[in-house]
C-alpha cells in the first residue's frame, strides 16, 4: 500500500473501527501550507473494535504523520497539554458520531471559566516576575540578562492574554495567523504584535513598561488585581516610577 494522505483517508474511511479523522497543523490553517508541510492526522478508533490499521500506529514520513488512539483517549488529549491548540484549530475529515468529534474539538478550543481564571492568575504572576527581572537587570546594566528575561516574559504574557479570552495560546508559528482571524478582545492585533516584536528584538524597557500599563488595566478589569498588588512596591519599577 502506497501510504499517501489521500490513500490512507480512503482506506480508513472504509474501516468500521474508525469513528473519526482529524487533520491538524499547517494543513488545517488556511494559507500556512508550504512545500514542506506534511499531513498530521489523528485516527480515532472505537473501543474494542478490531482493525488492521493499527499496524500503521506511529507511522511518520515527510508526507504523513499518524496518531492512532481510542475515542476516550482523544477526548482527553491536550486537556491539558501542548496539543490543545493544535486540536482547537484542527479540521474534521471524518465524523461518524453525529458531530461528536467536532464537539470534542470545540471543547478543547474553549477553556472553562474556572480553568481560565486559574491559568490567568498563574500566568500573570509569571509575566510580572520575568518583567520585573528584565527591568531590574536593565537598570543595573545587565543587558543580556535583561533581554533574556524580556523574552521569557512574552511567552507568559501570551498565555495570560489568551487565557483571559478562554482560549489556548497558539504556537508561535500561528500567532499572527490567529490574531488576524480571531483578535483578542480589546487589543489591536497589529499594535500588540509590534510591541512583542520590539521587546523580542531588543528588550526595550520603555516598550515593556508601555505594554505592562495596558496589561495591568486588563488584568485588574478581569479581577486579578490581587496578583499584582502582591508585588507591592516592586510594581513601581514595572510602571517606570
User: Residue 173: what pLDDT?
Assistant: 96
Same domain, 77 and 101: yes
Residues 35 and 56 in one domain: yes
Contact status, residue 89 vs residue 109, Cβ threshold 8 Å: yes
pLDDT of residue 241: 74
Which pTM was predicted? Answer: 0.93
Question: Is the same domain home to 193 and 215?
Answer: yes
Q: What are phi and psi of 39, to 5 degrees?
A: -110, 115
Q: What are phi and psi of 70, to 5 degrees?
A: -75, 170
Written as nine digits, the cell of 122 is: 498563574
CB-based contacts of 158: which residues, under 8 Å, 6+ apart?
169, 175, 196
Is 152's pLDDT higher than 70?
Answer: yes
Q: How many residues does the chain have?
A: 241
Instruction: List own/partner pairs for 228-231 with CB under 8 A and 24 or more apart.
Output: 228/124, 228/128, 230/125, 231/128, 231/132
Quick one: 87 and 117 in the same domain? Answer: no
Among 19-23, 78-82, 131-135, 212-216, the minimum mean pLDDT is found in 78-82
C-beta separation of 35 from 50 below 8 A: no
Looking at residue 65, the DSSP 8-state letter turns out to be E
Which residue, of 108, 123, 139, is where some domain finishes? 108
The domain containing residue 58 runs over which residues? Answer: 5-108
Distance from C-alpha of 57 to C-alpha of 231, rounded to nearest angstrom: 49
Identify the pLDDT of residue 106: 97
Q: Are residues 201 and 175 in the same domain?
A: yes
DSSP state of 50: -
Integer Cα distance of 12 and 159 in angstroms: 36
**Number of domains, the chain:** 2
- 49-58 pLDDT, tens digit per residue, is 999 999 999 8
Do 200 and 166 fall within a single domain?
yes
Instruction: Give the β-pairing of 18-24 and 91-95.
Output: antiparallel
* The domain boundary residue, chosen from 89, 108, 127: 108
Same domain for 98 and 122, yes or no, is no
Q: Which pLDDT score, from 0 to 100, does residue 154 have? A: 98
Same domain, 25 and 141: no
| 149-157 mean pLDDT | 98
The CATH number that applies at residue 72 is 3.30.460.10
The answer on 88 and 45 residing in a single domain is yes
pLDDT tens for 175-201 read 999 999 999 999 999 999 999 999 999
**Same-domain status, 234 and 132:** yes
pLDDT of residue 1 exceeding 70, the answer is no
Rounded distance between C-alpha atoms, residue 174 and residue 163, angstroms: 16
Amino acid at each position: 500500500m502506497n501510504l499517501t494522505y489521500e490513500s490512507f483517508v480512503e482506506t480508513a474511511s472504509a474501516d468500521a473501527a474508525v469513528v473519526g479523522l482529524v487533520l491538524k497543523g499547517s494543513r488545517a490553517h488556511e494559507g500556512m501550507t508550504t512545500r514542506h508541510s506534511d499531513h498530521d492526522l489523528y485516527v480515532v478508533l472505537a473501543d474494542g473494535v478490531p482493525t488492521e490499521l493499527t499496524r500503521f500506529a506511529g507511522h511518520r514520513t515527510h508526507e504523513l504523520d499518524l496518531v492512532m488512539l481510542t475515542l476516550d483517549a482523544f477526548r482527553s488529549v491536550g486537556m491539558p497539554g501542548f496539543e490543545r491548540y493544535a486540536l482547537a484549530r484542527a479540521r474534521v475529515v471524518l465524523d461518524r458520531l453525529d458531530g461528536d468529534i467536532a464537539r470534542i474539538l470545540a471543547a478543547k478550543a474553549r477553556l472553562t471559566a474556572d480553568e481560565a481564571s486559574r491559568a490567568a492568575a498563574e500566568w500573570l504572576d509569571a509575566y510580572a516576575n520575568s518583567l520585573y527581572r528584565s527591568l531590574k537587570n536593565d537598570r543595573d546594566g545587565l543587558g543580556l540578562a535583561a533581554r533574556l528575561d524580556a523574552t521569557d516574559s512574552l511567552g507568559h504574557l501570551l498565555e495570560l492574554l489568551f487565557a483571559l479570552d478562554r482560549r489556548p495560546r497558539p504556537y508561535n508559528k500561528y500567532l499572527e495567523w490567529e490574531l488576524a482571524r480571531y483578535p483578542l478582545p480589546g487589543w489591536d492585533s497589529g499594535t500588540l504584535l509590534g510591541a512583542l516584536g520590539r521587546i523580542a528584538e531588543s528588550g526595550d524597557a520603555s516598550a515593556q513598561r508601555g505594554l505592562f500599563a495596558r496589561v495591568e488595566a486588563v488584568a485588574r478589569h478581569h479581577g486579578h488585581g490581587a496578583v499584582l498588588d502582591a508585588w507591592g512596591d516592586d510594581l513601581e519599577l514595572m510602571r517606570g516610577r
